[in-house]
Structure 1
Amino acid sequence: MASNNNPSIISGHAQYAKGYAEETIGNVTGNKEWQESGKQDAKAGIDEMKSASQNKSSEPAASGIGGKVEELAGKATGCEGMEKEGAERQAKA
């Protein structure tokens, strides 16, 4: 979560991307620990993004790249709201 204990879309994106990268490395190398760690980090990032979306803080809008990550995370989790917001952020960037 964000350092101020408030959920943040931006830090959630970073956590999701970190987890995705870890899981990918684990998949390529066959390392089960990396795969599991990546899954947990990605889920934590998704949970933080969902929470931040519900709280609608006044943080700056994510970049187009962040919007793409949010859109993909929404697709992966079946969260239509996250998917839609990600697409909107991309269009605004």
Structure 2
Amino acid sequence: MSDQQNPSLIGQHANYVAAAAKETVGSVTGSEDWKATGAQEKQDAIDGMKSASENRDPNSSGFGKAEEMAGKAVGCEGMESEGQQSKTSQ
């Protein structure tokens, strides 16, 4: 597993949060374009997270407590779980 994948995973989580915010703004303002774009970007980020985390071993490439807390903050159960797993091995 390449260390290059961890930044990609984190970047995809950031993309997801930004897309969710865009979708929310679209909902609040009534902008269908923003809602649709946000929804599509969220799905792209989910696909990117899945791709980046394939074959990832959280025991050797996780970010521990930081990853767990970030997962809780953005509501990503997978990130939270992998953070918990990697924290126990650090």
Q: Do these two structures clear the TM 0.5 threshold for a shared fold by scoring above it? A: yes
Matched, 1:49 2:43: no
CA–CA distance in structure 1, aligned partners of residues 71 and 20 of structure 2: 16
2:68 to 64, 67, 91: 64
Runs of 4+ in 1 over 3 A off after TM superposition: 57-60
Q: TM-score, normalised by structure 2?
A: 0.66
Larger Rg belongs to: 2
Letter in 2 for 1:89: G
Matched, 1:32 2:32: yes
Aligned length: 76
Q: TM-score, normalised by structure 1?
A: 0.64
Q: Which residue of 1 aligns with 2:11?
A: 11
Cα 1:90–1:36, aligned 2, differ >3 Å: closer, same or farther?
farther
| Offset of residue 28 of structure 1 | 0.4
State percent identity of aligned pairs: 42
- Unaligned runs of at least 5 residues, structure 2: none
Cα 1:47–1:86, aligned 2, differ >3 Å: closer, same or farther?
same
